Structure 1
């Protein structure tokens, strides 16, 4: 009986320690990637602004291959959205702001996960031959230690996937 009591106290103390340690981690995770796409800004904007085009380049457009995608009547511009429901998860992506000369901003709400605010900033590249793209994501993590740990690793988890998306966007825009 004494062993179980000692084990229970150890688990509670460890849990409190992990929670207090997690308070030192930020409650927001930010992941950012940049790239230059050798295509005019209107070509890049057309791909980023139209949610139906995301399937061709965005690594998160179909998070579950069994997912059923449902698009709004409007699939491009401010207010456009799509949702999915699959075996692994469900969620919704909504464009909250879209301007051809500035970029596209969106929210991503995935069941049982913190909400994500993200966007693409676009401007002509320094040499004027392409489009400089800045892709950023901000995830509000809250106080839960498991989300804060994931936030601590967010750049390592999501950064390479974002790089892959930018590479696919580049090849798509160049070959249009």
Structure 2
């Protein structure tokens, strides 16, 4: 009986430590990846500013060919929105919130049912070897310790998808010209 009490107290102690550490973890995260594309910014920008072009290179769209996508708002401008329904990738929406022609597209991403979202940015910077395309996604999680652990791992969770999206964008752009 005494051994069982020690085991229960030990497990309870580990759980408390896990919670306390979780409460000390950050609630903010940022994931960033870059790639060099052998093209001018003018050739890349239309693929990023036009949400209708994202299914050609965005990894999430490629994973679910049955995704239902609708578009609203002004085309290739601030306020353009894409809304999708997907059993594989979840339901969500993205809206363009800032633009700098041939240089930067900023968007807000929301997964409504899960009540999570992020801010993303794709920047284009001309370099001697081509255009450096940098994709950044950042957000904030709740104060829940489990969410904070997830934020700690967000680079490993989201980073590979951003890398693959950039590789796909490179292929689309370099093969279109």
TM more than 0.5: yes
Shift of 1:161: 1.4
The secondary structure found in structure 2 opposite 1:43 is: helix
Between Structure 1 and Structure 2, the one with more helix by share is 2
Q: CA deviation at 1:78?
A: 1.0
Q: How many residues align?
A: 173
Equivalent-residue separation in structure 2 for 1:113 and 1:11 (angstroms): 32
TM-score by length of 1: 0.85
In 1, Cα distance between equivalents of 2:76 and 2:58: 15
Using the TM superposition, give the Cα deviation of residue 140 of structure 1 relative to its aligned residue in structure 2, in angstroms: 0.6
Match status 1:145 vs 2:142 = no
**Pairing 1:95-174 to 2, within 5 Å after superposition:** 95-110=96-111, 111-125=113-127, 127=128, 129-174=129-174
- Whole-angstrom distance in 2 between the partners of 1:161 and 1:59: 6
How much is the aligned-residue C-alpha RMSD, in angstroms?
2.5
- Give TM-score scaled by structure 2 length: 0.85
Q: What are structure 2's unaligned runs of at least 5 residues?
A: none
Deviations 1:112-149 (A, max 9, x none): 15211111111101x1x521111101021121122211
Residue equivalent to 2:78: 78
